Structure formats: structure tokens, C-alpha cells
Amino acid sequence: MTRADVIRIMCPNLGCQRVLAVPGSARGKLVRCRGCGSNIRIPAPRIDSGSIASAAEKTKGREAA
Ligand SMILES: [Zn+2]
């Protein structure tokens, strides 16, 4: 994982749909859309926790040896 990764997320507000670029450190947190002011939850796809890792494994499983 690169430290400087950026997450791009589209605002769920149908009247806005602004694409926001947030730092990877914002994963799992709420950010405010600069377009409409809505709070958007940033998904955390990869964390070293068992539950999320197993969920990802079901989806892709490319780490299986
Ligand atoms: Zn917005």
C-alpha cells in the first residue's frame, strides 16, 4: 500500500455527485462534500482486521497461495 494513496468517491447526493478525492487516512471516516455539504462515509476496503479481510477473500481471493 502506498502512503500517498488517494480515494476517489462520488457524492451520493443525486443533485451533486461531485467526485471527492480524499487521502487514504480518511478511510472509515466521514468527510464533508465540498459541493453540497453532505457527510460521506469513506469505505475502508482493506484493513488488517479479520472480518474485513475474510470478506475481501470471498470476493477476490487472489491472495490464496
Ligand atoms: Zn455533494
Burial (CB count within 10 angstroms: exposed 0-12, middle 13-18, buried 19+), residue 40: buried
- Give the Å distance between the CA of 15 and the centre of ligand 1: 7
Instruction: Kindly give the confidence (pLDDT) of every residue in the chain, 65 residues in length, as a single tens digit, with 9 standing for 90 and above.
Output: 555 789 999 999 999 999 999 998 999 999 999 999 999 999 876 656 555 555 556 666 666 66
- The domain segmentation of the chain, as residue ranges, is 6-59
- Give the Å distance between the CA of 50 and the centre of ligand 1: 32
- Give the Å distance between the CA of 33 and the centre of ligand 1: 5
- Give the Å distance between the CA of 39 and the centre of ligand 1: 8
- Give the Å distance between the CA of 44 and the centre of ligand 1: 20
Q: Please give the model's pTM, rounded to 2 decimal places.
A: 0.58
Q: CB under 8 Å, gap of 24 or more: what pairs does 35-40 form?
A: 35/11, 36/11, 38/11, 38/12, 38/13, 40/9, 40/11, 40/12
- pLDDT for the residue 52: 52
